[in-house]
């Protein structure tokens, strides 16, 4: 249910409505160039750099927080804090009305991203505490599927409201769009109450002793040492770092490829995002079943291979129908690789550990740093070359590196099929 709650942020704010709204509002005299902090920059590139910055902040603060959370047994408390930060920031976007409000819009989008990413490290750490190992793949995939469904429900509500704004008493579609940001924050915080009421906090009976800041760093040091003693886990983290660069960059920036490279209409882009969401739920379920038959490693290898093909195909597409075909493929492998990545890491955790939040902090730091590098590279290459097509090729290279690194991960748990 937390996937159901937070995935509306991914769909409404990062993938569909807000990027289009941002492109429409962040303009100077009809130009895509804007002035931010004294620099003139293209609006889509500014948005890309803002995302990179938000994930860098999360990567810097999460190791400390997650170490404290596991040491004191307060994962749910910190998860609540980040949910509030994210939800309130989404609602704050309601006040981003024109280009003069650009600093506020960037600030809220950064804080919403921090809230979303920050909550995930504590959320993910609950997985090995609530289900047995043989159900990691299935439950992880179910979570992503619920997220896709929940996102689509709110997305449809918002689209009906925006397209029929006068019937709902709004003065313009812009006002209706800004109300959709309010609804996103309310939905996120509202449905998060369900897992907060059900999840058991402090299951390991952690008690704060001494300086929790110092002990948080000590916990992280212990995890780092254990990674050195678990070569398969460490190699997998490196592989994940590279292929996740591509996955997340595509998820966050696909809209701008459609607007800048193919000049597609807003309604068609939103329809494309909905297609990705619906197919994504099917992909998460399908690859969870496939992993049970052939093992996680082989299933991930197939997924990464398809992603490499997607990047090559994206470089050559020239029309909207090819973009729809690309979106279908992206949706199919998006849910699958996200669900399997989380479940695979969980399987590789040392069996004798109870410090799940500390271990998942490394997973989420890797996750966030990979997005920093991926989105920054995407924006930088676009800025240097003037074309996102070259940025897409760079993402393909990241997938190739991830593929090679995954091939050297050795673990019977990842190779074994389930009965």
Structural Rg of the chain based on CA atoms: 21
98: burial class by Cβ within 10 Å (0-12, 13-18, 19+)? exposed
Average pLDDT over every residue of 267-273: 74
Which pLDDT score, from 0 to 100, does residue 72 have?
64
Instruction: State mean pLDDT over 264-286.
Output: 75
Alpha helices in 349-411, H assignment, sequence order? 356-385, 388-407
The answer on pLDDT for 150 being more than 80 is yes
The pLDDT of residue 177 is 92
State the pLDDT at residue 416. 60
Give per-residue pLDDT as tens, 83-101.
999 999 999 999 999 888 9
Question: Domains, the chain, ranges and CATH?
Answer: 2-415 (1.20.1250.20)
Question: Residue 409 — left, alpha, or beta (φ > 0 → left; ψ -120 to 50 → alpha)?
Answer: beta
Gap between the Cα atoms of 105 and 250, Å rounded: 22
pLDDT of residue 354: 54
134 Rama sector, left if φ>0, alpha if ψ -120 to 50, beta otherwise: alpha
Mean pLDDT of the chain: 82
Is the pLDDT score of 118 beyond 90? no
Residue with tokens 């690859």: 287
* Alpha-carbon distances of 97 from 21, 27, 175, 177, 354, rounded to whole Å: 10, 12, 8, 10, 47
Highest mean pLDDT among 117-131, 141-155, 302-316: 302-316
Burial 121-153 (b: 16+ CB within 10 A, else e): bbbbbbbbeeeeeeebbbbbbbbbbbbbbbbbe
> What's the average model confidence in pLDDT over 184-189?
97
Cβ atoms of residues 205 and 73 within 8 Å: yes
Helix (H) or strand (E) holding 39: strand 39-42
Phi/psi of residue 42, each to 5°?
Answer: -65, 140
Alpha-carbon gap, residue 262 to 251, rounded angstroms: 17
Per-residue confidence (pLDDT) for residue 375, from 0 to 100: 81
**Lowest model confidence (mean pLDDT) among 35-49, 80-94, 253-267, 369-383:** 253-267
Q: What is the pLDDT of residues 303-345, one digit of tens each?
A: 999 999 988 888 888 887 888 888 888 888 887 887 788 778 8
- Predicted TM-score (pTM) of this structure: 0.76
User: Do residues 73 and 201 lie in contact, with contact meaning Cβ atoms separated by under 8 Å?
Assistant: yes
In 14-135, which ranges are continuous DSSP H helix?
Answer: 17-25, 43-72, 75-92, 102-124, 127-130
pLDDT greater than 60 at residue 417: no
- CA distances in angstroms from 281 to 174, 231, 324, 376, 417, listed in the order given: 30, 32, 17, 28, 22
Lowest mean pLDDT among 19-28, 151-160, 184-193: 19-28
Pairwise pLDDT comparison (57 vs 267), residue with the higher score: 57
Residue 198 CB burial class (10 angstroms; 0-12, 13-18, ≥19): exposed
Angle between helices 296-316 and 231-260 (to 10 degrees): 30
166 in helix, strand or coil? Answer: helix
Alpha carbons 325 and 3: distance in angstroms, whole number: 26
Please name every residue paired with 42 in a beta bridge, in sequence order, or none if there are none: 33
Residue 209, phi-psi category: left (phi > 0), alpha (psi -120 to 50), beta (remainder): beta
Q: How many Cβ atoms are within 10 Å of 217's Cβ, its own excluded?
A: 14
User: How open is the CA angle 360-363-366, to the nearest 5 degrees?
Assistant: 150
């Amino acid at each position: 249910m937390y996937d159901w709650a937070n995935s509306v942020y991914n769909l409404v704010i990062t993938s569909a409505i807000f990027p289009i709204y941002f492109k429409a509002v962040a303009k100077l005299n009809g130009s895509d160039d804007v002035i931010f902090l004294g620099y003139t920059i293209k609006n889509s590139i500014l948005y890309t750099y803002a995302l990179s910055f938000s994930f860098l902040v999360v990567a810097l603060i999460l190791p400390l927080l997650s170490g404290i959370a596991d040491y004191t047994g307060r994962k749910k408390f910190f998860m609540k804090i980040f949910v509030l930060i994210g939800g309130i920031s989404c609602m704050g976007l309601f006040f981003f009305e024109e280009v003069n409000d650009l600093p506020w819009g960037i600030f809220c989008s950064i804080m919403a991203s921090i809230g979303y990413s920050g909550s995930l490290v504590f959320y993910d750490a609950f997985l090995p505490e609530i289900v047995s190992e043989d159900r990691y793949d299935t439950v992880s995939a179910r979570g992503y599927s619920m997220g896709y469904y929940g996102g689509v429900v709110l997305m449809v509500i918002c689209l009906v409201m925006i397209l029929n704004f006068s019937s709902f008493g709004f003065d313009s579609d812009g006002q209706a769009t800004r109300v959709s940001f309010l609804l996103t924050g309310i939905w996120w915080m509202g449905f998060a109450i369900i897992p907060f009421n059900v999840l058991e906090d402090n299951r390991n009976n952690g008690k704060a002793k001494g300086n929790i800041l110092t002990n948080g760093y000590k916990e992280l040091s212990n995890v780092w040492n254990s990674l050195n003693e678990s070569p398969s886990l460490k190699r997998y983290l490196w592989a994940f770092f590279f292929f996740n660069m591509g996955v997340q960059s595509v998820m966050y920036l696909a809209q701008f490829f459609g607007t800048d490279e193919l000049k597609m209409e807003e309604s068609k882009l939103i329809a494309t995002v909905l297609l990705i969401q619906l197919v994504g739920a099917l992909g998460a379920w399908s690859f969870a079943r496939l992993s049970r038959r052939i093992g996680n490693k082989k299933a991930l290898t197939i997924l990464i291979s398809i992603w490499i093909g997607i990047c090559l195909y994206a470089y050559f597409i020239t029309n909207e129908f090819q973009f729809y075909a690309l979106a279908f493929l992206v949706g199919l492998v998006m849910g699958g690789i996200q669900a399997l990545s989380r479940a695979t890491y969980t399987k590789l955790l040392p069996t004798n550990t109870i410090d799940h939040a500390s271990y998942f902090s490394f997973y989420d730091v890797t996750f966030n740093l990979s997005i920093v590098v991926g989105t920054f590279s995407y924006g930088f290459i676009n800025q240097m070359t003037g074309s996102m097509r070259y940025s897409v090729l760079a993402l393909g290279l990241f997938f190739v590196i991830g593929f090679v690194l995954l091939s050297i991960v050795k673990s019977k748990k990842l190779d074994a099929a389930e009965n």
